[in-house]
Amino acid sequence: MDLVVNEELKAYIDPLTAEEYEALERSLLAEGCRDALVLWGDVLVDGHNRYGICQKHGLPFETVQNPRLQSMEDVHLWMIDQHLGRRSVSDFQRGVLALRKREIMAGRRARFLASSPAPEDLPPDADTLAPAVSEGPAVPEPWPLRSREDIARAARLSSSQVVMIEKIQKQAAPELVEALKAGSISLNAAAVVASLPADEQKAAALAGKDALRLVAKCVREARRKAAEAGAESSEEGSAQQPDELAALRAKVAALQAENTALREQVSALRSQLEEAQSA
């Protein structure tokens, strides 16, 4: 049976690692394809890896239609919900999926509100009229994922973790994201490193796990000292003596020097990586 493989759907969820793919292949060869592939018409929705392995080895498989899918948005939402419930999905991946779901539901809500007549536009006897039949499935109320807490619950994360994931999505270099997905850096540390310029993030990520840990530690320390200096400056206020102001300025200068040193460390790591690759 030939199915339609939509490349956009295939790439919608992060692919398996090489080890995970090999484990799945061994399982299918030993036990066969026990779970049916899910279809939307003739489009494959769930089971892309199993389908590819079955095609490769000539293994039989079964398919099942999902009658609830009416649009590509429905397909996306169904895929997201399926993966949010899987234990093998990482915290970062669950957060990204929940944020995607929020975007889809926000778009649906906006379209629903835009198409709904304002109360003043309704006829006087509107409350006695039968509701009009709408095209497509009704959009449910209450609208899910309208707050960061909603997203955190859907992804089984804390609100602070959702904030970190949002920051990483907006600021992280692709190499840093890949390092996070590979487990080379924690979610918290990745959010810290994501505050650096993109080229420095890339250099740290390519230099490996130890370099990422060092960079994250240096950034945290610089932030801590900057916060302490700022708090001291605020407490002292305008009553400070010139020598005290000079001391604070010296602290700020020292922090700037530490930041420069951090950049130099990242640059040195980058140079070492380039030398190792060219050797």
Distance CA 32, CA 63 (A): 14
- In the chain, the DSSP E strands lie at 37-40, 43-46, 63-65
- Which pLDDT value is given to residue 165? 95
Sheet of 37-40, strand order: 43-46, 37-40, 63-65
Cβ–Cβ contacts within 10 Å for residue 82, how many?
15
- Which pLDDT value is given to residue 226? 80
Q: What pLDDT tens digit does each residue of the chain (279 aa) get?
A: 679 999 999 999 888 888 999 999 999 999 999 999 999 999 999 999 999 999 999 999 999 999 999 999 999 999 999 999 887 888 999 999 999 999 999 888 888 888 876 656 555 544 433 343 334 444 444 456 778 898 998 899 999 999 999 999 999 999 999 999 988 999 999 999 999 999 889 988 988 888 889 889 888 888 888 877 766 665 555 445 555 545 545 654 565 566 667 767 777 777 777 777 676
- Whole-Å CA distances, 75 to 15, 46, 127: 17, 10, 35
Task: Choose among 129, 80, 82: nearest CA to 100.
Answer: 80
Q: Can you give the pTM of this predicted structure?
A: 0.70
Distance CA 119, CA 110 (A): 17
Q: ∠ CA(211), CA(217), CA(180), 5° rounding?
A: 55
